Amino acid sequence: MAATGGPRVEGDFLGFSALSKCGQKGTEKRKRLNRNKKKNWKRHSDVRDVEDFLEDVRLQERTAGGLLAEKEDESLFFVDTGNEQKDSKVNKRVKPLRIDLILQPDSKVPVPKDISSHQVPNGKKLKRKRERVEKQEKKGILPRSERLLRAQLNQTKKAHKPEANNNPSRGFYDLWGHSNPLDSALEGKDQWYLEQTKKSRVKRPERLNKKPSQLPAVEVAAPGASYNPTFESHQALLLEAHEVEVKRLKMEEKLERQLKLPAGAEVTTEESRLQELCEGLVEESDDEMEEKESTEQQAVAFPQRERKTERQKKKQKEAKFLKARQEKEKTERLRRQSLFQLKSIYASLKSRQAELLRRKKLREEKRKLQSLQPRRLGRLKYQEPDIAVLLSEELTDSLRKLKPEGSLAKDRFKSFQKRNLIEPRERAKFKRKLKVKYVEKRAFREITQRERCCKMGVTPPTAAKMDSCLHTKLLWLSVIVNTVAPYQHLALARGFLFIVDVVKAWLGSCYSYD
């Protein structure tokens, strides 16, 4: 073994050494430190020899299962008696799999036995379960999973023997005769089944056998819609159409009343909207600022809760217990009294049963009525078409003069919607992608330029000398001035108008006047 402070000797047993692996070099200069101060204890103290010793001890525990100095000689050494003859076949059978070697633990440190339950996930639950299983095993009771496994092992499967098909007493028949028992299965089948090589159809779901609506496909028109109706039937149909129109007018009036502006309200315009947006841009007066500061400085007085005395708490607790006891006594008294009310309870149950039966009938009737009404299949609701009826003066005594009313295609389309075959739809609205561009002709441009310049108070130049860029700037300035002019009382608007006047003067000086 090497001396303390020197390098480790390679001849140590199994590469282990209880001494430090490396020491300080003698050539290093010793630092002069003040060890009386507590902050220098950990910072400048050299504990490498202790760490090396502990690391060596941990390595021995992992690889050898403990310190080598405490091991017996039999566990560390063996007597070499020469090469033994090894059976390769036996070794192949005994050799473990590679995956088993990988999964074996590489440390020989035993697992600690005294692990607290809180250090393991669900430790308390597993501990109680383990104790319960141990108690049941002592009594001879096995857990359910164990009983099921043993029952499966005890079951003996009987070998299935196919039945012999050599029964001499079975019936015979003439294969080419008329009375073939195999044809009895084909009796009552439809033509499609017989033609398609005896193939059975796929079973349809029950919901596909039900119609989406119980309404008839073609509804018979009212008697008043005939080309030569009676007076009573025609007047009845006119009255029905009149009621539909009155109902529609009432809905329109209701919508107008809801969208009508309240009394005293004004319609929002561009000027009012701009004025609302400009509010708050002007600085407020000092008086208003002082009022706001004074209101903010006022302290809010929070209500203070008075602490209860011990006597008050005791009385409140006694009152709470007394109330709970009284409620309990009341519940017990009512329960005893209910024994003498069996007749009334039976009558109430009977009336409730009758009420439930009545509600059930109402639900069934409502369900039947809903089956006759169109359902909402999409975004839009179904709307009844207008009643096709002729006025009294439009009725004629000849089919040649009869005025056509309604459309067969529209009637079929509405019938599909009413019978829940298709959803109500509306015509798609396509937006125009290309915008219309208005171009002012050259011959008309000079007239419009002069008119605009006269409105702005600028001397109109000739069309040949008018610069298009300046013309655009003047046009935009005129629009801005006309927009901001009504708000000259605002400070921001006044400053903006002043800037506009300066720019207008500069643009006017850019023209070459005739």
Q: Which two tokens stand for residue 236?
A: 């009845």
pLDDT tens digits, one per residue of 303-327: 777 888 999 999 999 999 999 999 9
**What is the pLDDT averaged over residues 508-513?**
47
Q: Which residue type occupies 244?
A: V
Q: Which residue type occupies 207?
A: R
Phi-psi map region of 161: left, alpha, beta (phi>0 left; psi -120 to 50 alpha): beta
Q: Which of 21-35, 71-85, 258-272, 433-447 has the lowest mean pLDDT?
A: 21-35
Closest CA to 490 of 279, 285, 287: 279
pLDDT of residue 40: 77
Closest CA to 390 of 404, 372, 376, 378: 404
| pTM of the model as a whole | 0.39
**C-alpha to C-alpha distance for 67 and 18, rounded to whole angstroms:** 9
Count CB atoms within 10 A of the CB of residue 447. Answer: 11
pLDDT tens digits, one per residue of 233-254: 999 999 999 999 999 999 999 9
Closest CA to 424 of 374, 392, 367, 381: 381
Half-sphere exposure for 75 (CA within 13 Å, toward CB): 9
More confident residue, 282 or 374: 374
| Count, residues in the chain | 514
pLDDT over 90 percentage in the chain:
21
CB-based contacts of 237, cutoff 8 Å, min separation 6: 222, 223, 224, 225, 229, 387, 389
Cβ contact 18:62 at 8 Å: no
